[in-house]
Structure 1
């Protein structure tokens, strides 16, 4: 499933569907003062975004060339535009061991991060009614228990953005949409309020920046952790990328005469999902993606970055 590399000075400790995590070799030392889970002990982690692409809980073949570098660049671009929000990029001072250099072979898709005590919450913010939120609305008239006006359609802008968190399930299980009240139970009232306020604040600013570039931010998800030194709620993981967010072309969205699918075409791997839905029954191993699907998907990732950067 993974393409984890042997990186000088770094030890591979975990791989998700699309990212690989490394800690400094020194974090793996086994002595009386330095033992335990390296992700818990190490002050830093090297997050390497791969070119792997996943859909329907499967990692697909082949990868999307350049995807990891594009998403990493976009995350850093957004961090630069959110200087008021604490993030995990700052390298801590730590005298327990020397932090190795980021290897050149992964420099364009690697992020050196402080390790945080992560909250088990995906902080989803929706500015438009679509996707799973639209299905929830059709069934209940709400999103995550939040009442919405009657008569809304797929793709409609919401009266105001809504915070619809999810619980990050353990590996191998599906994440679960939860209420704000359940969020309070999981992380406490103070942290839950901070997560909601920060998520809505970041979404509002990012939406304004995107709209100025002819792009609509329909929805996104954030992840936060507590700084281990200060306890400050800190923005982590990838931020406002094509894999964590749904973006639409503003001019296409405004064309009310166009088919809905064209108006809501997103700058992400929707092309992959659509092809799989039409060519696979989700039983057994997924089929190999055709070259044109790989190329079109990579083009969408690149186009979004170019549009936002101007």
Structure 2
């Protein structure tokens, strides 16, 4: 899909679900002082972009990210000051509601994954080896169980078209240095704990998520970037279903793109081009995204 032409901005890069624009006159991200981060309606699973997209998804996820940035007071983030007030006039109308005006950072090549519950690929590994990303866990856990403590399981951010790779903490030290690796881990675990408490107070479980960080180009300060705690980057479950459920699936009624993952797993062997998502799966996913936003942001 061709990038939009936005007045005053030049398309610089497209990831799986987001597009980046730099001001006209900038050579690229390296010399730009700000970047426009536009969330598309594209949806990805198993490192593939799927068709069709989820209508309204970009605006839903941007709204949720901005809400979470507001909740995480004291955590430096990449939004330009007074985002949403003084900056509204700087965001082109064509992407209003699904774009964030952000400072450019020197991004770390690490996806900072935190898991509070045993599920997904972690559950499959635990069944085989009683570990998750090589981290030993207690015996006797079931799919969907809460872990004794959240665990940090970083991944290397692969280029577009390649698969992200789970890596050890020691490998992150090799990639970014001991000080930065420790800071990424500690910040991720602390933000996860804060966000989990906020979500649980609203009847929602944050099962796992991924964060991305960069270094402020002026101060070097560790800065939270990209989307944060959205339905795309996180697993969210209904707390009441989790507490009352008698089977793993009942326990994990989700507010994320698990519907897409489940349908794809049942209809695709992960070779070749993924099949097109049926209309009912698209609408169910959009409905769950909308429901999560309402639950979290309700006064």
Q: 2:112 aligns with which of 123, 137, 159?
A: 123
SS of the aligned residue for 2:190 comes to helix
Q: Within 1, Cα distance between the matches of 2:240 and 2:81?
A: 40
Structure 2 CA distance for aligned equivalents of residues 175 and 232 of structure 1: 26
In the other structure, the counterpart of 2:135 is: 146
1:249 and 2:248 aligned: no
- Compute the TM-score of the two structures, normalised by the length of structure 1: 0.90
Match of 1:35 in 2: none
- What CA distance in whole angstroms lies between the structure 1 residues aligned with 2:129 and 2:22? 45
Residue aligning to 2:85: none
Residues 165-199 of structure 1 deviation map (CA, whole Å, 9 limit, x = unaligned): 11112333211111111111111111111111111
CA contact (8 A) 1:91 1:112 kept: no
- Any idea what SS the aligned residue of 2:249 has? helix
The residue that corresponds to 1:77 in the other structure is: 67
Q: Specify every segment of 5 or more residues in structure 2 that has no aligned partner in the other structure, as ranges.
A: 83-88
Q: Give the equivalent residue in structure 1 for 2:156.
A: 167
* Aligned twin of 2:286: 298
Contact 1:227 1:233 in 2 (8 A): yes
Structure 2 residue aligned with 1:157: 146
Mapped to 2, the partners of 1:217 and 1:107 lie a distance apart of 28
Aligned residue pairs: how many? 293
1:267 corresponds to which residue? 255
Q: Is the 8 A contact 1:91 1:114 kept in 2?
A: no
Query: Unpaired runs of 5+ in structure 1?
Result: 29-37, 93-99
Number of the residue aligned with 1:104: 93
Stretch moving more, 189-198 or 52-61: 52-61
In structure 2, the residue matched to 1:232 is: 221
Are 1:10 and 2:9 an aligned pair? yes
Q: Is this contact kept in 1: 2:47–2:161, CA < 8 A?
A: no
In 1, are the aligned partners of 2:208 and 2:234 still within 8 Å (CA)?
A: yes
TM-score, with structure 2 as normaliser? 0.94
Hey, what does 1:24 align to over in structure 2?
23
Once the two structures are superposed, what CA deviation does each residue of 1:14-73 show, in whole Å capped at 9, x if it has no partner?
Answer: 111111111111214xxxxxxxxx011101110100011122332222211100000000
Q: Deviations over 1:184-216 (max 9, x none)?
A: 111111111111111111000000000000000
In the superposition, relative to structure 1, how do residues 305 and 19 fare at CA in structure 2: closer, same or farther (>3 Å)?
Answer: same
Offset of residue 139 of structure 1: 2.5
- The whole-number CA distance in structure 2 between the counterparts of 1:187 and 1:252 is 40
3-state SS, counterpart of residue 26 of structure 1: coil
Inter-partner Cα distance in structure 1 for 2:204 and 2:121:
21
Partners of 1:216 and 1:249 within 8 A in 2: yes
1:204-243 Cα deviation digits (max 9, x unpaired): 0000000000000011110000000000110000000000
Determine if the alignment matches structure 1 residue 309 to structure 2 residue 293.
no
RMSD: 1.7
